[in-house]
Protein backbone atom coordinates (compact mmCIF):
# COMPACT_ATOMS: atom_id res chain seq x y z
CA UNK A 1 0.00 0.00 0.00
CA UNK A 2 1.40 3.38 -1.01
CA UNK A 3 2.04 5.78 1.84
CA UNK A 4 3.12 9.32 1.16
CA UNK A 5 6.03 10.41 3.33
CA UNK A 6 6.59 14.17 3.19
CA UNK A 7 9.81 13.75 5.18
CA UNK A 8 11.49 12.30 2.08
CA UNK A 9 11.70 15.83 0.72
CA UNK A 10 13.40 17.17 3.87
CA UNK A 11 16.40 14.86 4.08
CA UNK A 12 19.14 17.18 2.81
CA UNK A 13 19.80 20.85 2.25
CA UNK A 14 19.85 20.43 -1.57
CA UNK A 15 16.51 18.60 -1.44
CA UNK A 16 14.93 21.22 0.81
CA UNK A 17 16.23 23.93 -1.48
CA UNK A 18 14.90 22.16 -4.56
CA UNK A 19 11.33 22.03 -3.26
CA UNK A 20 11.26 25.34 -1.36
CA UNK A 21 8.03 27.19 -2.16
CA UNK A 22 9.31 30.68 -1.33
CA UNK A 23 12.65 32.28 -2.06
CA UNK A 24 14.15 35.68 -1.41
CA UNK A 25 16.51 37.24 -3.92
CA UNK A 26 18.81 40.16 -3.08
CA UNK A 27 16.90 42.27 -5.60
CA UNK A 28 13.75 41.86 -3.49
CA UNK A 29 15.32 43.78 -0.60
CA UNK A 30 15.27 47.52 0.13
CA UNK A 31 17.73 49.06 2.59
CA UNK A 32 16.41 51.88 4.83
CA UNK A 33 19.17 54.37 5.72
CA UNK A 34 19.41 57.50 7.86
CA UNK A 35 21.55 60.49 6.90
CA UNK A 36 22.22 63.14 9.55
CA UNK A 37 23.03 66.73 8.78
CA UNK A 38 26.31 68.21 10.01
CA UNK A 39 28.26 65.09 10.99
CA UNK A 40 31.55 63.91 9.54
CA UNK A 41 31.49 60.38 10.93
CA UNK A 42 28.57 57.96 11.27
CA UNK A 43 26.88 57.67 14.67
CA UNK A 44 25.83 54.28 16.04
CA UNK A 45 22.15 53.91 16.97
CA UNK A 46 22.21 52.26 20.39
CA UNK A 47 18.83 50.55 20.09
CA UNK A 48 19.61 49.19 16.60
CA UNK A 49 23.01 47.45 16.77
CA UNK A 50 24.75 47.60 13.41
CA UNK A 51 22.65 50.54 12.13
CA UNK A 52 23.96 54.10 12.00
CA UNK A 53 23.03 57.67 11.37
CA UNK A 54 25.19 58.24 8.31
CA UNK A 55 27.36 61.11 7.28
CA UNK A 56 27.11 61.92 3.59
CA UNK A 57 30.31 59.99 2.87
CA UNK A 58 29.28 56.92 4.85
CA UNK A 59 25.84 57.04 3.22
CA UNK A 60 27.40 56.85 -0.21
CA UNK A 61 29.64 54.00 0.93
CA UNK A 62 26.61 52.12 2.28
CA UNK A 63 24.81 52.63 -1.02
CA UNK A 64 27.76 51.20 -2.95
CA UNK A 65 27.95 48.23 -0.55
CA UNK A 66 24.26 47.56 -1.12
CA UNK A 67 24.69 47.67 -4.89
CA UNK A 68 27.65 45.30 -4.71
CA UNK A 69 25.53 42.85 -2.69
CA UNK A 70 22.72 43.03 -5.27
CA UNK A 71 20.19 44.88 -3.09
CA UNK A 72 17.31 46.17 -5.18
CA UNK A 73 16.60 49.53 -3.56
CA UNK A 74 17.52 52.05 -0.90
CA UNK A 75 15.10 54.18 1.16
CA UNK A 76 16.47 57.49 2.43
CA UNK A 77 15.45 59.21 5.67
CA UNK A 78 16.83 62.63 6.58
CA UNK A 79 17.82 63.83 10.04
CA UNK A 80 18.08 67.63 9.88
CA UNK A 81 20.00 69.91 12.23
CA UNK A 82 17.00 72.21 12.78
CA UNK A 83 13.33 71.42 13.25
CA UNK A 84 10.28 73.65 13.05
CA UNK A 85 6.50 73.36 13.20
CA UNK A 86 6.13 73.22 9.41
CA UNK A 87 8.99 70.81 8.71
CA UNK A 88 10.59 73.21 6.25
CA UNK A 89 13.88 71.30 6.16
CA UNK A 90 12.03 68.63 4.20
CA UNK A 91 10.93 70.93 1.40
CA UNK A 92 14.17 72.92 1.24
CA UNK A 93 16.12 71.90 -1.89
CA UNK A 94 19.27 72.23 0.24
CA UNK A 95 17.78 70.22 3.12
CA UNK A 96 19.68 67.12 4.16
CA UNK A 97 17.29 64.62 2.58
CA UNK A 98 17.15 66.34 -0.80
CA UNK A 99 20.92 66.80 -0.89
CA UNK A 100 21.30 63.12 0.01
CA UNK A 101 18.98 62.13 -2.83
CA UNK A 102 21.12 64.01 -5.33
CA UNK A 103 24.32 62.52 -3.94
CA UNK A 104 23.03 58.95 -3.90
CA UNK A 105 21.48 59.29 -7.35
CA UNK A 106 24.83 60.47 -8.70
CA UNK A 107 26.59 57.52 -7.08
CA UNK A 108 24.22 54.57 -7.69
CA UNK A 109 21.14 55.92 -9.46
CA UNK A 110 21.77 53.73 -12.50
CA UNK A 111 22.33 50.63 -10.41
CA UNK A 112 19.49 50.50 -7.88
CA UNK A 113 16.13 52.08 -7.15
CA UNK A 114 16.49 55.19 -4.98
CA UNK A 115 13.49 55.96 -2.77
CA UNK A 116 12.77 58.65 -0.20
CA UNK A 117 10.46 58.79 2.77
CA UNK A 118 7.90 61.51 2.02
CA UNK A 119 6.76 62.57 5.46
CA UNK A 120 7.18 65.36 7.98
CA UNK A 121 7.94 63.49 11.19
CA UNK A 122 11.72 63.77 10.78
CA UNK A 123 11.45 67.52 10.19
CA UNK A 124 8.85 68.82 12.67
CA UNK A 125 9.68 70.06 16.15
CA UNK A 126 6.60 68.27 17.51
CA UNK A 127 7.45 64.98 15.81
CA UNK A 128 4.11 64.39 14.12
CA UNK A 129 3.73 63.34 10.52
CA UNK A 130 1.79 66.50 9.68
CA UNK A 131 1.27 70.10 10.66
CA UNK A 132 -0.92 70.87 13.65
CA UNK A 133 -4.06 72.99 13.88
CA UNK A 134 -4.88 75.42 16.67
CA UNK A 135 -6.15 72.56 18.81
CA UNK A 136 -2.89 70.65 18.47
CA UNK A 137 -4.32 67.99 16.15
CA UNK A 138 -2.81 66.97 12.83
CA UNK A 139 -4.49 68.93 10.04
CA UNK A 140 -5.04 66.44 7.22
CA UNK A 141 -5.59 68.84 4.32
CA UNK A 142 -2.93 71.35 5.34
CA UNK A 143 -0.49 68.46 5.68
CA UNK A 144 -1.31 67.18 2.20
CA UNK A 145 -0.38 70.56 0.74
CA UNK A 146 3.06 70.25 2.30
CA UNK A 147 3.35 66.63 1.18
CA UNK A 148 3.06 67.82 -2.42
CA UNK A 149 5.98 70.17 -1.77
CA UNK A 150 7.98 67.34 -0.21
CA UNK A 151 7.32 65.06 -3.16
CA UNK A 152 8.18 67.75 -5.69
CA UNK A 153 11.44 68.57 -3.91
CA UNK A 154 12.38 64.89 -3.88
CA UNK A 155 11.41 64.40 -7.53
CA UNK A 156 13.39 67.45 -8.55
CA UNK A 157 16.38 66.03 -6.68
CA UNK A 158 16.02 62.98 -8.95
CA UNK A 159 14.56 60.30 -6.72
CA UNK A 160 12.98 57.34 -8.51
CA UNK A 161 10.24 56.74 -5.91
CA UNK A 162 8.51 59.00 -3.39
CA UNK A 163 7.02 57.24 -0.41
CA UNK A 164 4.21 59.00 1.47
CA UNK A 165 4.10 57.46 4.93
CA UNK A 166 1.98 59.84 7.00
CA UNK A 167 -1.38 58.08 6.54
CA UNK A 168 -3.19 61.30 5.61
CA UNK A 169 -6.45 60.76 3.74
CA UNK A 170 -5.97 61.62 0.06
CA UNK A 171 -2.20 61.94 0.24
CA UNK A 172 -1.50 59.76 -2.80
CA UNK A 173 -3.96 61.64 -5.03
CA UNK A 174 -2.57 65.09 -4.28
CA UNK A 175 1.02 63.90 -4.71
CA UNK A 176 0.26 62.17 -8.01
CA UNK A 177 -1.48 65.27 -9.35
CA UNK A 178 1.37 67.53 -8.28
CA UNK A 179 4.04 65.30 -9.77
CA UNK A 180 2.21 64.97 -13.07
CA UNK A 181 1.52 68.71 -13.34
CA UNK A 182 5.22 69.39 -12.78
CA UNK A 183 6.26 66.92 -15.48
CA UNK A 184 7.45 64.18 -13.11
CA UNK A 185 5.21 61.57 -14.66
CA UNK A 186 7.85 58.85 -14.32
CA UNK A 187 8.34 59.34 -10.59
CA UNK A 188 6.67 56.39 -8.89
CA UNK A 189 4.73 56.37 -5.62
CA UNK A 190 5.21 53.69 -2.96
CA UNK A 191 2.34 54.30 -0.56
CA UNK A 192 2.54 53.28 3.07
CA UNK A 193 -1.04 52.09 2.71
CA UNK A 194 -1.52 49.97 5.83
CA UNK A 195 0.67 51.62 8.45
CA UNK A 196 -0.24 50.78 12.03
CA UNK A 197 0.26 52.79 15.21
CA UNK A 198 2.69 50.22 16.54
CA UNK A 199 4.60 49.93 19.80
CA UNK A 200 7.54 48.59 17.81
CA UNK A 201 8.68 51.92 16.33
CA UNK A 202 10.69 52.96 19.39
CA UNK A 203 14.21 52.49 18.00
CA UNK A 204 13.27 54.38 14.82
CA UNK A 205 12.56 57.45 16.92
CA UNK A 206 16.14 57.34 18.17
CA UNK A 207 17.33 56.89 14.59
CA UNK A 208 15.66 60.10 13.41
CA UNK A 209 16.11 62.09 16.65
CA UNK A 210 12.33 62.31 16.90
CA UNK A 211 10.82 65.07 19.03
CA UNK A 212 7.48 63.24 19.36
CA UNK A 213 5.63 63.10 22.64
CA UNK A 214 2.44 61.07 22.77
CA UNK A 215 1.42 58.86 19.86
CA UNK A 216 0.04 58.85 16.31
CA UNK A 217 -3.10 56.83 16.95
CA UNK A 218 -5.42 59.47 15.45
CA UNK A 219 -4.03 58.93 11.97
CA UNK A 220 -2.15 55.63 11.89
CA UNK A 221 -4.18 52.41 11.95
CA UNK A 222 -5.38 50.63 15.07
CA UNK A 223 -3.60 47.31 15.61
CA UNK A 224 -6.97 45.66 16.39
CA UNK A 225 -8.27 46.27 12.87
CA UNK A 226 -7.84 44.04 9.84
CA UNK A 227 -10.33 44.81 7.06
CA UNK A 228 -9.58 48.52 7.31
CA UNK A 229 -6.21 47.76 5.72
CA UNK A 230 -7.98 46.64 2.56
CA UNK A 231 -9.96 49.87 2.40
CA UNK A 232 -6.84 51.97 2.86
CA UNK A 233 -4.99 50.02 0.20
CA UNK A 234 -7.85 50.20 -2.28
CA UNK A 235 -8.04 53.96 -1.84
CA UNK A 236 -4.31 54.39 -2.43
CA UNK A 237 -4.42 52.27 -5.57
CA UNK A 238 -7.40 54.23 -6.88
CA UNK A 239 -5.50 57.45 -6.21
CA UNK A 240 -2.50 56.31 -8.25
CA UNK A 241 -0.13 54.37 -6.02
CA UNK A 242 2.32 52.33 -8.08
CA UNK A 243 3.26 50.14 -5.11
CA UNK A 244 1.76 49.68 -1.65
CA UNK A 245 3.22 48.80 1.72
CA UNK A 246 2.26 47.10 4.96
CA UNK A 247 4.09 48.37 8.05
CA UNK A 248 5.10 46.76 10.41
CA UNK A 249 5.72 43.41 8.78
CA UNK A 250 6.38 40.63 11.27
CA UNK A 251 3.52 41.43 13.63
CA UNK A 252 1.10 41.96 10.75
CA UNK A 253 1.63 38.97 8.47
CA UNK A 254 -2.12 38.38 8.31
CA UNK A 255 -2.59 41.93 7.00
CA UNK A 256 0.21 41.42 4.52
CA UNK A 257 -1.45 38.28 3.15
CA UNK A 258 -4.80 40.07 2.88
CA UNK A 259 -3.24 42.96 0.96
CA UNK A 260 -1.20 40.69 -1.28
CA UNK A 261 -4.32 38.72 -2.18
CA UNK A 262 -6.20 41.81 -3.39
CA UNK A 263 -3.52 44.14 -4.74
CA UNK A 264 -2.95 44.47 -8.50
CA UNK A 265 0.26 46.43 -7.81
CA UNK A 266 3.46 45.24 -6.10
CA UNK A 267 3.27 44.88 -2.32
CA UNK A 268 6.12 45.73 0.03
CA UNK A 269 6.45 45.18 3.77
CA UNK A 270 8.71 46.97 6.25
CA UNK A 271 10.54 44.95 8.90
CA UNK A 272 10.68 47.86 11.30
CA UNK A 273 13.19 48.99 13.89
CA UNK A 274 11.63 47.22 16.86
CA UNK A 275 11.37 43.95 14.97
CA UNK A 276 15.02 44.26 13.99
CA UNK A 277 16.03 45.20 17.54
CA UNK A 278 14.27 42.19 19.05
CA UNK A 279 16.23 39.79 16.85
CA UNK A 280 19.48 41.57 17.64
CA UNK A 281 18.82 41.63 21.39
CA UNK A 282 17.86 37.96 21.54
CA UNK A 283 20.90 36.98 19.47
CA UNK A 284 23.22 39.10 21.62
CA UNK A 285 21.96 37.23 24.68
CA UNK A 286 22.52 33.87 23.04
CA UNK A 287 18.83 33.05 23.03
CA UNK A 288 18.57 32.56 19.25
CA UNK A 289 20.98 32.01 16.36
CA UNK A 290 21.25 35.36 14.66
CA UNK A 291 21.66 34.58 10.94
CA UNK A 292 19.08 31.76 10.78
CA UNK A 293 16.60 33.91 12.69
CA UNK A 294 17.22 36.86 10.39
CA UNK A 295 16.68 34.79 7.25
CA UNK A 296 13.66 32.99 8.71
CA UNK A 297 12.03 36.30 9.56
CA UNK A 298 12.54 37.58 6.02
CA UNK A 299 11.26 34.32 4.53
CA UNK A 300 8.11 34.59 6.64
CA UNK A 301 7.49 38.09 5.29
CA UNK A 302 7.98 36.86 1.75
CA UNK A 303 5.78 33.82 2.37
CA UNK A 304 2.99 36.10 3.59
CA UNK A 305 3.01 37.88 0.24
CA UNK A 306 5.60 40.65 0.16
CA UNK A 307 7.25 41.14 -3.20
CA UNK A 308 9.74 43.55 -1.64
CA UNK A 309 10.99 43.78 1.92
CA UNK A 310 12.38 46.89 3.57
CA UNK A 311 14.85 45.65 6.15
CA UNK A 312 17.92 46.93 7.94
CA UNK A 313 19.39 43.51 7.18
CA UNK A 314 19.19 44.09 3.41
CA UNK A 315 22.90 44.23 2.56
CA UNK A 316 23.92 41.47 4.96
CA UNK A 317 21.03 39.23 3.95
CA UNK A 318 21.73 39.82 0.26
CA UNK A 319 25.29 38.58 0.71
CA UNK A 320 24.05 35.46 2.49
CA UNK A 321 21.45 34.82 -0.21
CA UNK A 322 23.79 35.31 -3.16
Q: Is 108 within the bounds of a domain? A: yes
In a domain, 221, yes or no: yes
pLDDT at 207: 86
User: For the residues 67-93, what does the mean pLDDT come to?
Assistant: 96
Q: Does 237 fall in a domain?
A: yes
Q: What is the pLDDT of residue 76?
A: 98
In a domain, 166, yes or no: yes
pTM of the predicted protein model? 0.96
pLDDT of 217: 84
Among the options 60, 82, 145, 247, which is catalytic? 247
8 is a domain residue = no
- According to the model, what pLDDT value does residue 322 have? 87
Q: In sequence order, what are the beta bridge partners of 162?
A: 116, 189
For 13-50, the pLDDT digits (tens) are 999 999 999 999 999 999 999 999 999 999 999 999 99
Residue 12 belongs to a domain = no
Cα separation of 22 and 31, whole Å?
A: 21
Candidates 60, 82, 145, 195; catalytic one:
195
Residue 286 lies in a domain: yes
pLDDT tens readout for residues 165-222:
999 999 999 999 999 999 999 999 999 999 999 999 888 888 887 877 778 888 899 9
224 is in which domain, residue-wise?
23-321
Element containing residue 116 per DSSP (H, E): strand 113-118
- Residue-wise burial string across 164-189, b where 16 or more C-beta atoms lie within 10 A, e elsewhere: bbbbbeebbbbbbebbeeeebeebbb
247 an active-site residue?
A: yes
Does 1 have pLDDT greater than 70? Answer: no
145 is an active site residue:
no
Domains held by the chain: number: 1
C-alpha angle 144-148-152 in degrees, rounded to nearest 5: 165
In a domain, 2, yes or no: no
For residue 32, give the CATH number of its domain: 3.20.20.70
Amino acid sequence: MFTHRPRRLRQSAPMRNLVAQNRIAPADLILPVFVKEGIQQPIDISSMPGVQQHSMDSLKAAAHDAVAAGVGGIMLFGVPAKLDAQGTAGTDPQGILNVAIREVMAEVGDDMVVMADTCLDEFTDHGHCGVLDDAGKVDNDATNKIYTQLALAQAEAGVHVVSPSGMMDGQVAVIRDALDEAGHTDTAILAYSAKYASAFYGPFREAVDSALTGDRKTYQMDSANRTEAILETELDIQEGADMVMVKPAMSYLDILRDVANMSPVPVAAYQISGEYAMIEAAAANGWIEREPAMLESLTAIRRAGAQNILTYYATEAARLLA
